[in-house]
Amino acid sequence: QQQVKQSPQSLIVQKGGISIINCAYENTAFDYFPWYQQFPGKGPALLIAIRPDVSEKKEGRFTISFNKSAKQFSLHIMDSQPGDSATYFCAASEDLQYNTDKLIFGTGTRLQVFP
Amino acid sequence: DAMVIQNPRYQVTQFGKPVTLSCSQTLNHNVMYWYQQKSSQAPKLLFHYYDKDFNNEADTPDNFQSRRPNTSFCFLDIRSPGLGDAAMYLCATSRGGLGLAATDTQYFGPGTRLTVL
Protein backbone atom coordinates (compact mmCIF):
# COMPACT_ATOMS: atom_id res chain seq x y z
CA GLN A 1 0.00 0.00 0.00
CA GLN A 2 3.05 2.22 0.41
CA GLN A 3 4.16 1.83 -3.19
CA VAL A 4 4.04 4.36 -5.97
CA LYS A 5 4.09 2.70 -9.38
CA GLN A 6 5.68 4.65 -12.23
CA SER A 7 5.76 4.04 -15.97
CA PRO A 8 7.37 3.90 -18.42
CA GLN A 9 10.83 2.96 -17.20
CA SER A 10 12.40 4.80 -20.11
CA LEU A 11 11.12 7.22 -22.71
CA ILE A 12 12.58 8.54 -25.92
CA VAL A 13 11.05 11.67 -27.41
CA GLN A 14 11.97 13.90 -30.31
CA LYS A 15 12.67 17.56 -29.66
CA GLY A 16 9.42 19.51 -29.62
CA GLY A 17 7.33 16.46 -28.71
CA ILE A 18 5.27 15.76 -25.60
CA SER A 19 6.70 13.55 -22.85
CA ILE A 20 4.17 11.80 -20.61
CA ILE A 21 5.03 9.89 -17.44
CA ASN A 22 2.40 8.15 -15.35
CA CYS A 23 2.19 7.22 -11.70
CA ALA A 24 -0.34 5.37 -9.56
CA TYR A 25 -0.72 4.93 -5.83
CA GLU A 26 -2.87 2.99 -3.37
CA ASN A 27 -2.58 4.80 -0.06
CA THR A 28 -5.41 7.33 0.23
CA ALA A 29 -3.53 9.01 3.09
CA PHE A 30 -1.07 10.49 0.61
CA ASP A 31 -1.74 14.20 0.35
CA TYR A 32 1.11 15.68 -1.63
CA PHE A 33 2.48 14.57 -4.99
CA PRO A 34 5.77 16.09 -6.15
CA TRP A 35 7.82 15.34 -9.22
CA TYR A 36 11.60 15.40 -8.98
CA GLN A 37 14.11 15.76 -11.80
CA GLN A 38 17.53 14.16 -11.42
CA PHE A 39 20.51 14.68 -13.71
CA PRO A 40 23.38 12.18 -13.66
CA GLY A 41 25.63 12.66 -10.65
CA LYS A 42 23.25 15.16 -9.03
CA GLY A 43 20.64 14.95 -6.32
CA PRO A 44 16.94 15.11 -7.19
CA ALA A 45 15.48 18.61 -7.54
CA LEU A 46 11.82 19.49 -7.09
CA LEU A 47 10.22 20.20 -10.46
CA ILE A 48 6.52 20.65 -9.76
CA ALA A 49 4.03 19.38 -7.19
CA ILE A 50 0.30 19.09 -6.65
CA ARG A 51 -2.17 18.52 -3.82
CA PRO A 52 -5.26 16.32 -4.35
CA ASP A 53 -7.70 19.22 -4.12
CA VAL A 54 -6.87 20.28 -7.71
CA SER A 55 -6.93 18.23 -10.90
CA GLU A 56 -4.23 20.04 -12.82
CA LYS A 57 -1.25 22.28 -12.21
CA LYS A 58 0.84 23.95 -14.87
CA GLU A 59 4.22 25.62 -14.58
CA GLY A 60 5.72 26.67 -17.89
CA ARG A 61 6.13 23.57 -20.06
CA PHE A 62 5.42 21.19 -17.17
CA THR A 63 1.89 20.08 -16.23
CA ILE A 64 0.68 17.63 -13.60
CA SER A 65 -2.69 15.98 -14.18
CA PHE A 66 -4.25 14.41 -11.10
CA ASN A 67 -7.15 11.93 -10.97
CA LYS A 68 -8.11 11.39 -7.35
CA SER A 69 -10.76 8.75 -7.96
CA ALA A 70 -8.39 6.65 -10.06
CA LYS A 71 -5.47 7.35 -7.72
CA GLN A 72 -3.30 8.31 -10.66
CA PHE A 73 -1.24 11.32 -11.62
CA SER A 74 0.94 12.17 -14.56
CA LEU A 75 3.61 14.60 -15.71
CA HIS A 76 3.38 16.15 -19.15
CA ILE A 77 6.37 17.95 -20.62
CA MET A 78 5.33 20.05 -23.58
CA ASP A 79 7.81 21.05 -26.31
CA SER A 80 10.41 18.66 -24.88
CA GLN A 81 14.01 19.85 -25.19
CA PRO A 82 17.34 17.99 -25.10
CA GLY A 83 18.05 19.77 -21.80
CA ASP A 84 15.05 17.93 -20.31
CA SER A 85 16.94 14.64 -20.66
CA ALA A 86 17.11 13.35 -17.10
CA THR A 87 15.50 10.83 -14.77
CA TYR A 88 12.11 11.84 -13.43
CA PHE A 89 10.71 10.51 -10.17
CA CYS A 90 7.16 10.89 -9.04
CA ALA A 91 6.58 10.76 -5.32
CA ALA A 92 3.80 10.79 -2.81
CA SER A 93 3.98 11.89 0.75
CA GLU A 94 2.26 11.35 3.99
CA ASP A 95 2.58 13.48 7.08
CA LEU A 96 5.12 12.50 9.68
CA GLN A 97 5.51 13.66 13.21
CA TYR A 98 6.36 17.35 13.55
CA ASN A 99 4.41 18.11 10.37
CA THR A 100 7.10 17.03 8.00
CA ASP A 101 6.64 14.67 5.06
CA LYS A 102 7.82 11.17 4.20
CA LEU A 103 8.37 10.85 0.48
CA ILE A 104 7.65 7.55 -1.24
CA PHE A 105 9.32 7.62 -4.63
CA GLY A 106 8.32 5.89 -7.82
CA THR A 107 10.91 3.81 -9.63
CA GLY A 108 11.90 6.58 -12.03
CA THR A 109 11.66 7.26 -15.76
CA ARG A 110 14.73 7.94 -17.80
CA LEU A 111 13.80 10.52 -20.44
CA GLN A 112 15.95 11.09 -23.51
CA VAL A 113 15.07 13.92 -25.86
CA PHE A 114 16.79 13.80 -29.23
CA PRO A 115 17.29 16.86 -31.46
CA ASP B 1 24.05 30.45 -1.82
CA ALA B 2 22.05 28.47 0.71
CA MET B 3 22.44 24.82 -0.05
CA VAL B 4 22.88 21.21 1.01
CA ILE B 5 26.51 20.08 0.81
CA GLN B 6 27.73 16.51 0.91
CA ASN B 7 31.30 15.34 1.41
CA PRO B 8 32.99 13.52 -0.02
CA ARG B 9 31.31 13.23 -3.43
CA TYR B 10 32.97 9.86 -4.00
CA GLN B 11 34.02 7.43 -1.28
CA VAL B 12 35.77 4.10 -1.72
CA THR B 13 35.98 1.73 1.23
CA GLN B 14 36.88 -1.86 1.83
CA PHE B 15 34.45 -4.58 2.80
CA GLY B 16 33.86 -4.29 6.54
CA LYS B 17 35.79 -1.03 7.02
CA PRO B 18 33.69 1.65 8.75
CA VAL B 19 32.92 4.74 6.74
CA THR B 20 31.34 8.12 7.56
CA LEU B 21 29.54 10.35 5.10
CA SER B 22 28.94 14.01 5.85
CA CYS B 23 26.11 16.43 5.12
CA SER B 24 25.88 20.11 5.95
CA GLN B 25 23.22 22.69 5.25
CA THR B 26 23.01 26.45 5.26
CA LEU B 27 19.21 26.54 5.02
CA ASN B 28 18.74 26.38 8.80
CA HIS B 29 16.16 23.64 8.30
CA ASN B 30 14.83 21.60 11.19
CA VAL B 31 14.69 18.29 9.35
CA MET B 32 17.54 16.32 7.79
CA TYR B 33 17.07 13.06 5.91
CA TRP B 34 19.36 10.32 4.65
CA TYR B 35 18.36 8.33 1.58
CA GLN B 36 20.02 5.39 -0.14
CA GLN B 37 19.73 5.26 -3.92
CA LYS B 38 21.01 2.17 -5.74
CA SER B 39 21.69 2.22 -9.44
CA SER B 40 18.55 2.84 -11.52
CA GLN B 41 16.36 2.74 -8.41
CA ALA B 42 14.34 5.27 -6.46
CA PRO B 43 15.76 6.92 -3.36
CA LYS B 44 14.86 4.99 -0.22
CA LEU B 45 14.58 6.76 3.13
CA LEU B 46 16.91 5.39 5.81
CA PHE B 47 16.14 7.80 8.65
CA HIS B 48 15.55 11.42 9.46
CA TYR B 49 16.10 13.91 12.26
CA TYR B 50 13.68 16.56 13.39
CA ASP B 51 16.08 18.78 15.27
CA LYS B 52 17.75 16.29 17.64
CA ASP B 53 14.97 13.71 17.48
CA PHE B 54 16.06 10.67 15.50
CA ASN B 55 13.52 8.67 13.48
CA ASN B 56 14.62 5.36 12.03
CA GLU B 57 12.77 3.57 9.23
CA ALA B 58 11.67 0.10 10.28
CA ASP B 59 13.60 -1.65 7.51
CA THR B 60 16.87 0.27 7.87
CA PRO B 61 19.63 -2.21 8.80
CA ASP B 62 21.41 -1.77 12.14
CA ASN B 63 24.61 -1.38 10.16
CA PHE B 64 23.52 2.19 9.39
CA GLN B 65 23.72 4.81 12.10
CA SER B 66 23.43 8.57 12.11
CA ARG B 67 24.53 11.53 14.19
CA ARG B 68 23.40 15.13 14.17
CA PRO B 69 25.68 17.15 16.45
CA ASN B 70 24.08 20.49 15.55
CA THR B 71 21.48 22.02 13.21
CA SER B 72 23.88 22.32 10.31
CA PHE B 73 25.55 18.92 10.21
CA CYS B 74 24.40 15.34 9.92
CA PHE B 75 26.54 12.22 9.50
CA LEU B 76 25.82 8.77 8.14
CA ASP B 77 27.96 6.00 9.65
CA ILE B 78 28.12 2.60 8.01
CA ARG B 79 29.68 0.34 10.60
CA SER B 80 30.60 -2.64 8.44
CA PRO B 81 29.97 -1.94 4.77
CA GLY B 82 29.01 -4.87 2.62
CA LEU B 83 29.02 -5.12 -1.15
CA GLY B 84 25.27 -4.55 -1.10
CA ASP B 85 25.76 -1.14 0.51
CA ALA B 86 27.39 0.31 -2.60
CA ALA B 87 25.04 3.10 -3.64
CA MET B 88 24.51 6.83 -3.88
CA TYR B 89 23.71 8.31 -0.48
CA LEU B 90 21.57 11.41 -0.59
CA CYS B 91 21.09 13.94 2.17
CA ALA B 92 18.02 16.16 2.12
CA THR B 93 16.61 18.87 4.32
CA SER B 94 13.22 20.42 4.91
CA ARG B 95 11.93 23.16 7.10
CA GLY B 96 9.39 21.03 9.00
CA GLY B 97 6.80 22.18 11.52
CA LEU B 98 4.77 24.10 8.98
CA GLY B 99 1.47 22.47 9.82
CA LEU B 100 -0.45 19.56 8.35
CA ALA B 101 -1.81 21.47 5.38
CA ALA B 102 1.54 22.94 4.41
CA THR B 103 3.96 21.58 1.87
CA ASP B 104 7.32 20.70 3.36
CA THR B 105 9.60 20.70 0.33
CA GLN B 106 12.72 18.57 0.57
CA TYR B 107 15.97 19.92 -0.82
CA PHE B 108 18.56 17.37 -1.82
CA GLY B 109 22.33 17.49 -1.84
CA PRO B 110 24.38 16.17 -4.78
CA GLY B 111 24.99 12.83 -3.08
CA THR B 112 27.99 10.71 -2.13
CA ARG B 113 28.68 7.71 -4.32
CA LEU B 114 29.98 4.87 -2.15
CA THR B 115 32.00 2.04 -3.63
CA VAL B 116 32.75 -1.04 -1.53
CA LEU B 117 35.71 -3.19 -2.63
Give the tens place of pLDDT for each residue, B33-72: 999 999 888 999 999 999 999 999 989 999 999 999 999 9
Backbone angles phi and psi of B67, in degrees to 5: -135, 145
Contact (CB, 8 A) for B94 and B109: no
Return the ∠ at Cα B62 (arms to B4 and A29), rounded to 5°: 65
Taking the C-alpha atoms of residue A79 and residue A61, their distance in angstroms, rounded to an integer, is: 7
pLDDT tens-digit series, residues A97-109:
555 678 899 999 9
How would residue B13 be classed by pLDDT, with cut points 50, 70 and 90?
very high
Q: What average pLDDT does this structure show over A64-80?
A: 96
Report the candidate in B29, B23, B38, B51 with the shortest Cα–Cα distance to residue B106: B29
CA B78/CA B89 separation, integer angstroms: 11
Across the range B27-33, mean pLDDT stands at: 93
Nearest CB to A43 within list B40, B100, B111: B111
By CB neighbour count within 10 A (0-12 exposed, 13-18 middle, 19+ buried), where does B60 fall? Answer: middle
Cα–Cα distance for residue pair A65/A43, rounded to 1 Å: 25
DSSP character for A55? S
Q: What pLDDT score does B98 carry?
A: 66
Number of H-type helices and E-type strands within chain B: 0, 11
3-state secondary structure at position B83 = helix
Q: What is the mean pLDDT of residues A55-79?
A: 96
Q: What are phi and psi of A24, to 5 degrees?
A: -140, 150
Q: For the residues B4-28, what does the mean pLDDT come to?
A: 96
Give A77's strand partners: A19, A62
pLDDT of residue A94: 77
Nearest to A107 among B41, B102, B110 (CB): B41
Give, rounded to a whole angstrom, the gap between the first and last alpha carbons of chain B: 36
pLDDT at position B95 is 86
- What is the structure's pLDDT at A42? 87
**Would you call B98 an interface residue with chain A, using a CB distance cutoff of 8 Å?**
yes
Residue B105 to residue A49, Cβ atoms within 8 A: yes
With CA atoms as reference, the chain A residue closest to B4 would be A43
Which position has the higher pLDDT, A102 or A49? A49
Q: Which pLDDT score, from 0 to 100, does residue B1 have?
A: 61
Q: How far is CA A31 from CA A37, A91, B33, B112, in A?
A: 20, 11, 20, 30
Answer whether A80 touches B (CB < 8 Å): no
B17 CB contacts (<8 Å, ≥6 apart)? B81
* Residue contact A107–B43, C-beta within 8 A: no
Q: Average pLDDT of chain A?
A: 92
Q: pLDDT value at position A34?
A: 94
Query: Over the stretch B62-111, which tens digit does the pLDDT of each residue have?
Result: 999 999 999 999 999 999 999 999 999 999 999 887 665 566 788 999 99
Report the residue from A41, A44, A45 with minimal CB separation from B43: A44
* pLDDT value for A86: 97
The pLDDT score that the predictor gives to residue A3 is 87
